[in-house]
Chain A
Amino acid sequence: MIETIMIIVVFMVVLIIGLAFFFKFSMSSLEETGADLCIVSNTVLLSSITSMPEVECSVNGKTQDCIDTTKLVVFDPAREYGSYFSTICKQRVYFEDVYPIKNEEEVECSQGTYPNCNLYSFYDSDPDALPGILISTPVSLYYPLTEEYTVGRLVVEVLQ
């Protein structure tokens, strides 16, 4: 009788260990799926930001595939843009003016520094969070005052 109980106890212990391993692997698999979904949602975000009416170019009433820098300067990231950024993970979004090179250093764009600047902060869900994966795409930046187009980069930083 004692031997049977011992066997059952050992069996239960090994079964619990086995299940613990199983759930551990299942959890890591779920985390990987979550990370993949995060990348997918932010890739979608990359293409949707460029067509946001808040920043999209409009020349003579016709929308164009470019970003109006004057709209970027006055864009208020503190406002609620939940419908655009309600992805499953936190992110930091900004535009960089890449070419032609204006400054060797990063100069944050504001009403005081515009147009001699190269970094347009757009959205930051958590300023204290560390940067993680970077997703970026080229964009055309439009300067309405001089009617010039430069080459920029839209960056989505997935935060940790």
Chain B
Amino acid sequence: MKKGQMEILGFMVIVLLLIFGLIFYFKFSSGESSSIIPEAEQNLEVSNMLNAIKQYTVCEGVDMKDLMKTCISGGLGCNDDACTEIENELPELISVYGWGNSSYMFEIEGSLLVGSCVGNTFVDDFTLSSTSIRLTYCY
């Protein structure tokens, strides 16, 4: 083999290495997916869940927001103590939707009423009669 042919062969090897290097670079550099989309979706879910809970009609003329208000001031809800009714109704509502009991917390003025969870969280809250109502979703 002549010297020129050897040089072409060497050049070919370099170009090949470059091509395969580029292929692997593009393959692995695009592998990391963003977590922004699932986070936005989860945030929306927590916010909409709290809104749906708030508006849910527990009994004739009484919605969950009314029950929360009564629970804060102390008093009867539909048939029972308002806080007890929330404690009974809320876990069923949320579990039927598909959230596990250890994946969320529902708090009124910082005191835990329903559920218990640890880990990273998505939180949504609103204020009712100067009292903070908070729903936390853990993942």
Chain A interface residues (CB < 8 Å from chain B): 3-4, 7-8, 10-11, 14-15, 18-19, 21-22, 25-26, 29, 32, 36, 39-40, 43, 46-47, 50, 64-66, 98-99, 101, 135-140, 142, 147-153
Q: Does A149 contact B48, Cβ atoms closer than 8 Å?
A: no
Are B20 and A18 in contact, CB atoms less than 8 angstroms apart? yes
CA distance A8 to B26 in the complex (A): 27
* 3 nearest A-B residue pairs (beta carbon): A18-B19, A148-B57, A149-B55
For the complex with contacts A14-B16, A64-B55, 12 further pairs of A-B residues with Cβ separation under 8 Å are A3-B1, A3-B2, A15-B15, A18-B19, A18-B23, A22-B26, A43-B37, A46-B44, A99-B93, A147-B57, A149-B57, A150-B57
Known: A7-B12, A138-B49. Contact between A43 and B23, CB under 8 A?
no
Q: Number of contacting residues on B, CB 8 A?
A: 37
Per the bound structure, the CA–CA distance linking A24 and B53 in Å amounts to: 48
Q: How far is the CA of A150 from the CA of B48 in the complex (A)?
A: 13
B-side residues, CB < 8 A to A, are 1-2, 4-5, 8-9, 12, 15-16, 19-20, 22-23, 26-27, 30, 33-34, 37, 40-41, 44-45, 48-49, 51-57, 63, 92-93, 96-97
